[in-house]
Amino acid sequence: MFIIGILPAFLLLYVRQSVDEPALWITANCSRREAQKRIEMGTVSPRDHELVEFTLTRLLRDPDLRRRIGLLLLMSITSVAGWWSASTWLPQYAAQLSTDAGQQVPLSPSLVGLVFSLGSIAGFLVLGISADVLGRKPTTWLYYLGALLVSLCLFSLVRDRYALLAMSAASGFFSSGQFAWMTIYLPELFPTRVRGTAIVSMPTTRP
């Protein structure tokens, strides 16, 4: 497992050496360097100060960017909390249902977790396609509402083992698959010069 975990590092080496930086970032970086040189030479302008300003200060000073940070932070926290809640409780819930039903062959919590993970992978892939076909906002709404409805049905109505497996896959699809919106939609909502700082400020990571 640990050896396999090293493999993405080799992909990173390839990316660093063979993949060109985006043209938008190169343009923004050149503008920032030129502004820094002009300031060092004594040529001062509000535009140059804005270009070399500390990115976190820029994010918090601009009302529109500050509002976006707040809303997207709330969305990100919702995704993280929802995913942890569903993925942590599902295996225990499966074992509890098997016990309550008196099944001689209980439903394996590991199987439920595997089905949840397979649904997650499908959710990641479909979100990328849907974002291009339907648009970013409709797709994001679809995944959040889907996660809400599936969670309510899963933990309130499901009692059959096969229905539990199906709903576990659906839960993984929506609650875990929605993480893909962060890599697609988040970068597009901020100017190039502050994009990296804005994204890092979000709790977008999960195991």
Same domain, 41 and 90: no
Nearest alpha carbon to residue 46 among 33, 35, 54: 35
- Quick one: which H or E segment has residue 56? helix 55-61
Structure tokens at 198: 């804005």
30 CB-near residues (< 8 Å, 6+ apart): none
> Is 176 inside a domain boundary?
yes
Give pTM, 2 decimals: 0.74
Domain count, the chain: 2
Full residue range of the structural domain in which residue 47 is found? 1-51
For each of the chain's 207 residues, which pLDDT tens digit applies? Answer: 888 888 888 888 888 888 888 887 788 888 888 887 877 777 777 776 777 777 777 778 888 888 888 888 888 888 888 888 888 888 888 777 767 665 555 677 788 888 999 999 999 999 999 999 999 999 999 999 999 999 888 888 887 888 888 998 999 999 988 888 888 888 888 887 788 777 776 765 554
Secondary structure letter of residue 49 according to DSSP:
H
Sign of CA dihedral 141, 144, 147, 148: negative
> What is the total residue count of the chain?
207
Phi, psi of 105 (to 5 degrees): -110, 95
Same domain, 19 and 120: no
